[in-house]
Chains A and B, each alone.
Chain A
Amino acid sequence: MAFLVTFLILFAFWIFMSGQLDWWHLSWGVLSCTLVAVISHDFLFKDIKSKGRVKETTLFFAYVPWLIYEIILANIYVAYLALHPKMLDLIDPHIIKFKTRLKNDFARVTFANSITLTPGTITVLIKDDYFFVHAINKSAAKSLPGNMERRITKVFMEE
């Protein structure tokens, strides 16, 4: 069942992307979609029955604009550092370590990616509830975990 749904989603995507409806292109589509579906059909529908998936998705899309705003800030900050003539005085890199409250795997991945995309911090490692984050200076690390973790907690309803 999961295999069939994965295959159909992939094949619809293939037709949308290629836009060619002759047998040559369609048979390549069937072949490659079957291959991908065989390898990865258990990734997409691992926990399909978990509750609140629809609300979670809606809240996730509400979280995206804020994330893009943070990404633009991050890029301006990195551009400022890269072009600053006395760059070595401004940076003070450390790996910081803090404990997370998030339990859900997907929430942790979202949090890690968000850390990577926000100003001056990138996630290095997640191990036993601890996040290891490389921060480019102390002021970049000041806002962690704080505000962003609270937003993600709200999205994934882990209050």
Chain B
Amino acid sequence: MSEKVLMKGNEAFAEAVIRGGVRFYFGYPITPQSEIPEFMSRELPKRGGAFLQAESELGAINMAYGCGAAGGNGFISSSSPGIALMQEGMSFLCGAEVPVTLLNVSRGGPGIGSIQPGQADYNQVTRGGGNGDYRIPVFAPASIQEAVDILYEAPAIADRYRNPVMVLADGLMGQMMEPVTLPEAKHAFTSEEISTAKPWALSGSEKGTRSVVKSLRLQPEVLEQHVEHLFEKYAVMEKELERVECEGLEDAEVVFVAFGTMARLAKEAMELLEAQGIKAGMIRPISLWPYPYKAFDAISDKTKAVISVELSMGQMLQDINLGVKGRVPVKLIHRVGGMLPTSLEVVEKTKKILEEVR
């Protein structure tokens, strides 16, 4: 176990993916994640990789596609509007089954919105803004350590399923410092090893087979077969990638559902409510797709309300309702625009909600 270090979120994220095997970074500056390309431009050339500042987010996602199609472990970071611009590429990557690790340090929207923390990318990242039937696993860590562990694992997940993998953080996590233990660096493929490690990737037909990476399938029956194949893969991902943390559901009068930074706020609200004699529990989805619907089965008969604590107008409510299946009223405590609730505010609003539903 290596020593704990104090790191700023954005730099810890970048270090974690490098240790996870990423050697190629493509990005375009956007607040609040610009420390990541800055870090990558310093570090990757020293570690046998390459940094390339793209002309746009469109350029970045397509460079990462080229990198992935050629067998490299690529990484992209951006923030909400930049992620929006990359949606065509994400659909393409899924269709062509090319792995890449993505990090969205999200901010307020719609449009250019604000540079303050937001979670209103929920629909964008879980439903996807690109065309066609596809899925991208999304992980929403709540601490820098958890983000580091997930980003370290993400390149391997992307390779295993030949699919993009996204980590959703927010500007607050990117700027925060927290002690972390960094995992040991994994081996990263050299360009010579790619032809044997990833025979499907472009490395030259001298390897004995000809590789073609593509998303176009003009014959309907061929495309249908391909989409069915993708969804067989997504079904496996749903089984293997679902992650959730539940706490105090057995006797909870109220259950919070929150991810990322808001989960930490809800955690403190739980403690404050407990001090006032109100038992609160929490379901913290770590994977937003696949969404941990089954976790909601553990909500007890004592629970009077399920409350989503979100930095959006309630984009997660649809999934929560699918999990709750109408057994308990589902309510929302939220702020948007970059405004952040305090845990005290969550406590007060929770008490009001409990009065309403009692």
- The answer to whether A and B interact is no
Give B residues with C-beta under 8 Å from A: none
Q: Using a CB–CB distance below 8 Å, which chain A residues touch chain B?
A: none
